[in-house]
Amino acid sequence: MPQTSEKSRPAAPSKPVVAPYIQEKRYCKPGEWIEGLPPLYIVTPTYPRAEQLPELTRFAQTLMNVPNVVWIVSEDAPQSTQAIVDYLKECGLKTVYLRVQMPAKYQKVKNKPRGVANRLAGLDWIRANAKDGVLYFADDDNTYDIRLFEQMRWTRGVSMFPVGLVTKLGVSTPIVKDGKVVGFYDGWIAKRKFPIDMAGFAVNVQYFLQRPNATMPFKVGYEEDGFVISLGIKPAEIEPLAYNCTKIWVWHTQTKKNNPATPVVQNNATKGTNLDIIKNLIWKGNGNEAETTHKNKGVS
């Protein structure tokens, strides 16, 4: 078991933190950095599709309201998507762009471990570059209340909180009694020790760095469970956030798939107009359309 150094971690506030800048100003500047506030390393797996830039734009604009964020956008693609690389440079946030591809053996199977290779690349980056703060896996298509980020910032080990719109139960959450996690309420328990959603937990960076073997398995449905198990945390040690898991501050929203666009017709009405530019901005597909438009939904 790796050693933990309790002293070097930021002290957990005695009551839930609502940061003054949220109460007073309701916003901060994009990319704002406040000295002394633990950084958040937010790992977002993403992949090329018609909805990619809209999803990332929406999430970026959520993160513009949160200070001390390093946004690690990790793309699963054979080549970088230029529009994404450009947007990350322009958006004003502190961003890191990574690119990897899902290993070929998983690409072939029907039920793929989505986002694992790229989340692992994010973890490697954190191991190489981060010293403190908190890490969080934030899928590109979820919806986040910024108050969640202010609470997870003070995570000392592993914190957990409810995620809305998960399974037919409508929520996946730890069950909390007298301030302690005593179980899990989730529509798909299966063989999971921690039946939670990917968006339902955050990890202290020092705690993670002290566990060099912590990793995420390429195992559909068991990605988050495997990762939390690999951290060696006991259920009783989990820090319940969102006021003892009484608030839903993140939702597993899913965006409708859009088909690739029909190319802009080239005629006198379009040539020599703004459509010469727009035609390069619309999503014309990447050759995997059968796969992306009829996505097989996983268990999570």
- Summarize as ranges the residues that interact with Mn ion (CB under 5 A): 139, 141
Which residue's structure tokens are 């988050």?
224
Of 42, 46, 149, 154, which one interacts with ligand UDP (CB under 6 A)? 46
99 binds ligand UDP (CB under 6 A): no
The residue among 246 and 259 lying less far from ligand UDP, judged by its C-beta, is 259
Dig out the tokens for 201 from the structure: 């937990």
172 binds ligand UDP (CB under 6 A): no
Output DSSP code: residue 186: -
> How far is 20 from 34, CA to CA, in rounded Å?
12
Interaction mask 254-283, ligand UDP, x per CB under 6 A: x-----------------------------
SS3 letters for 197-223? CHHHEEEEHHHHHCCCCCCCCCCCCCH
Of 141, 223, 224, 225, which one interacts with ligand UDP (CB under 6 A)? 141
> How far is 253 from 237, CA to CA, in rounded Å?
29
225 binds ligand UDP (CB under 6 A): no
SS3 letters for 227-267? HHHHCCCCHHHCEEHHHHHCCCCEECCCCCCCCCCCCCCCC
> How far is 119 from 19, CA to CA, in rounded Å?
28
Of 32, 140, 223, 225, which one interacts with ligand UDP (CB under 6 A)? 140
Give the nearest distance from C-beta 148 to Mn ion in angstroms.
17
> How far is 140 from 256, CA to CA, in rounded Å?
13
224 binds ligand UDP (CB under 6 A): no
Annotation marks residue 224 as catalytic: yes
Residue 45 touches which member of Mn ion, ligand UDP, none, C-beta under 5-8 Å by kind: ligand UDP
Contact (Cβ atoms closer than 8 angstroms) between residue 8 and residue 38: no
The residue among 115 and 133 lying less far from ligand UDP, judged by its C-beta, is 115
Of 32, 139, 223, 225, which one interacts with ligand UDP (CB under 6 A)? 139
Part in contact with ligand UDP (CB under 6 A); list of ranges 42-50, 150-158, 209-217, 257-265: 42-50
φ and ψ at 2, to 5 degrees?
-65, 160
Encoded amino acid at 51, one letter: E
Residues with Cβ within 8 Å of residue 142, at least 6 apart in sequence: 59, 199, 250, 251, 252, 253
Q: Which of 24, 224, 237, 239 is catalytic?
A: 224
Positions marked catalytic: 224
Q: Where on the chain is the footprint of ligand UDP (CB under 6 A)? A: 45-47, 76, 102, 112, 114-115, 118, 139-141, 252, 254, 298, 300
